[in-house]
A = this chain, B = another copy of it.
Amino acid sequence: MYPQEPVIGILGGMGPAATADFYAKLVSHTRARRDQDHPRTVIWSDPTIPDRTQAILGLGEDPTPWMLRGVKHLEEAGATLIAVPCNTAHAFVPALQAKTSAPILHMIEETVELLSAQGIRSVGLLATTGTCQMGLYQASAAKGGVEVLVPDQDGQEKVMDAILGIKGGNTTPDISAALVEATTLLQAKGAEAVIAGCTEIPLALSQDMLQIPLIDPTGVLAVAALRQAGFPVADQGPERHVACP
């Protein structure tokens, strides 16, 4: 009764709202006319995983054992591939991959590959100061021949303030204006597109506010997971809602 189709595993909780957003994107990006057309998915969402940025800066507990526990749960439930919808957590993906046979998709590399495929040679990055300093995007982009432009110190402080404001529930026009201004400055430096490199940013910044493409790594990861699992991807269009019949 139980076909051995792919099972998409999601290592989530970093944070939980980003996980909910990622799963919603996975569902809406699936080309489906009924529930049964969608992939089986298992989600381990552990918001108690210690703060990744703090660990990288040597200021907090190593989250790797906690993330490995999640990977083990996903494996036990039959996950045949794993997605991690958190930018910063990708610093730990190599350590996780070494301990599991299920392939872990790499959101940042997938995003850079998309940029390369679109012929973008220079991209702006809006992200936490931690993500910028860790150079996660820069490392992948260098391999793909893509230049990553980040705001100067003053501009980065404004981006970080905006992100913290959004985390506090604030999505006022002032916040959006700060992110638009940061994008405009990156565009003036030569950015052909801008990456929403923190899951908060799309809550206050949308494509219609910008003159250059806004790249959403969470959506890129959703499409990559569907392709890897062999499921058809929906054409661009209104979100599909296939729910309880």
Contacts and interface: CB of A to CB of B under 8 A. Distances in A.
Contacts of A24: 17, 20-21, 24
Contact of A35 (B13, B39, B42, B130): B13
B53 A245 contact: yes
Interface stretch (A148-156, A173-181, A197-205): A197-205
A244 B15 contact: yes
Contact of A240 (B14, B17, B88): B17
Contacts of A42: 42-45, 73
Nearest to A51: B245
A148 to B, nearest CB: 18
A106 to B, nearest CB: 15
Interface in A1-53: 1-3, 5, 13-21, 23-24, 26-28, 30, 35-53
A155 B49 CA distance: 50
Contacts of A242: 15-17, 47, 167
A242 to B, nearest CB: 5
A190 to B, nearest CB: 27
Given A40-B45, A69-B2, A240-B169, A52 B245 contact: yes
Interface in A68-87: 69, 73, 76-77, 85-87
